[in-house]
């Protein structure tokens, strides 16, 4: 987790005085949407984001976009590797799924290599997968409980392989879903990448607290997100882990444009999936989701994603999640106006945020 947020000098008790409070700037990064922008465009935006005060990049592993309009799906490991050479902030997979398209051993190798190339910068975000990406290899698509169990078994294998690389000793695995013959990671950074698990449910959040280094989630009603963080911390305590040292990461979608009307048009055109009020995990085709997204209306974004031309509306929204205790927040503006968004937020929003 990031270092201490507030440092208080108790001052001179005799005079009942306190020195000024030093407040650290929050870690706000750029959510690079590989399902929406071509890889070179992503690289240009990420570099510009860094110049405007954004601290790092989070990118998800998509094989297909959500809807055809989004139009891209580049390979996350290639893009993050290139960004490692052209930026200086952190590099996170937010998220990749070591459950169907990928055997966990391959994800472990990719992550270890990226971390070795960029010491101290890479964190590994893992999820249980979504059919739109994972079904393409033709495997049976199970119900959510099995997908979650697969993810946590994958975490076990990845942790074993990270330890094998650090300890120069072969490991093997024979589990319910995966096998790993005797092997090790031959390329490994001096310190294993931080492992985070993405979840929106309390049971998986508590399980994550017991097993991994951090939690990833997306914006939702504050009471629900607060409950997730509490369950995550509860799991850590039950496992004897120091919850204050674990990371809490949020990806936050928003729609900013020069007018409210344009911001709403962007939301409806570019990110209608953000207005769908049901789980999308079982949808297999961008064209299928496109048909469902035709039902989305402006009011469907209320309480789910801020749509506004006013930077202060977005600032207050971001601040409400920082106040819950998130260490890192990565912003995704749903419009094509990435450079304008980064300029305005770097100037008007980020400097006003406090951790």
Is residue 194 annotated as a catalytic residue, yes or no? no
> Residues near 41 by Cβ (< 8 Å), separated by ≥ 6?
338
Bond into 7 cis (ω within 30): no
Residue 130 among the catalytic residues: yes
Cis preceding linkage at 95, omega within 30: yes
CB atoms within 10 A of CB 187: 11
Helix (H, G, I), strand (E, B) or coil at 215: strand
Q: Is residue 336 classed as helix, strand or coil in its secondary structure?
A: coil
When computed from its CA atoms, the radius of gyration of the chain, rounded to whole angstroms, is: 20
Structure tokens at 127: 């999820």
Total count of residues recorded for the chain: 355
Catalytic residue among 35, 130, 153, 270: 130
Residue pair 284/131 in contact (Cβ under 8 Å)? The answer is yes
CA 208 to CA 354: how far, in whole Å? 27
Cβ–Cβ < 8 Å for 59, 32:
yes
Q: Could you tell me if 188 and 159 are in contact, meaning their C-beta atoms sit under 8 angstroms apart? A: no
Provide long-range contacts, Cβ within 8 A and 24+ apart, for 21-24: 23/354, 23/355, 24/355
Q: Give the tokens for residue 193.
A: 């990448």
Which one of 27, 35, 50, 62 is the catalytic residue? Answer: 62
Helix ranges, 239-310 (H): 260-270, 286-293
| Residue 137: both structure tokens together | 């290899």
* Cβ count near 13 (within 10 Å): 8
Catalytic residue numbers, as ranges = 62, 130
């Amino acid at each position: 987790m990031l270092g201490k947020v507030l440092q208080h000098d108790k001052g001179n008790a005799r005079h009942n005085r306190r020195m000024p409070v030093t407040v650290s700037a929050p870690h706000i990064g750029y959510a690079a949407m590989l399902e929406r922008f071509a890889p070179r465009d992503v690289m240009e935006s990420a570099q510009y984001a860094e110049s405007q005060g954004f601290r790092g990049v989070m990118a998800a592993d998509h094989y297909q976009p959500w809807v055809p309009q989004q139009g891209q799906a580049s390979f996350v490991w290639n893009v993050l590797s290139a960004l490692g050479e052209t930026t200086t902030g952190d590099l996170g997979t937010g998220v990749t799924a070591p459950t169907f398209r990928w055997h966990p051993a391959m994800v472990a190798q990719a992550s270890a290599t990226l971390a070795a190339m960029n010491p101290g910068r890479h964190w590994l975000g893992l999820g249980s997968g979504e059919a739109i990406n994972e079904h393409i290899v033709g495997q049976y698509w199970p119900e959510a409980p099995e997908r979650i169990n697969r993810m946590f078994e994958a975490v076990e294998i990845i942790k074993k392989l990270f330890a094998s690389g650090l300890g120069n000793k072969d490991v093997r695995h024979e589990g319910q879903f995966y096998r790993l013959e005797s092997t090790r990671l031959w390329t490994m950074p001096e310190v294993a990448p931080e492992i985070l698990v993405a979840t929106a449910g309390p049971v998986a959040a508590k399980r994550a607290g017991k097993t991994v280094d951090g939690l990833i989630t997306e914006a939702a009603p504050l009471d629900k997100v607060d409950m997730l963080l509490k369950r995550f911390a509860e799991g850590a305590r039950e496992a004897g882990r120091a919850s204050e040292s674990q990371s809490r990461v949020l990806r936050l979608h928003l729609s900013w444009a020069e007018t409210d009307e344009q911001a709403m048009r962007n939301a409806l055109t570019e990110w209608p999936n953000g207005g769908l009020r049901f789980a999308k995990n079982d949808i297999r085709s961008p064209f299928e989701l496109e048909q469902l997204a035709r039902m989305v209306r402006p009011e469907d974004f209320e309480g789910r994603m801020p749509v506004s031309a006013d930077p202060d509306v977005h600032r207050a929204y971001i601040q409400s999640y920082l106040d819950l205790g998130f260490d890192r927040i990565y912003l995704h503006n749903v419009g094509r106006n990435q450079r304008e968004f980064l300029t305005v937020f770097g100037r008007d929003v980020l400097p006003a945020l406090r951790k």
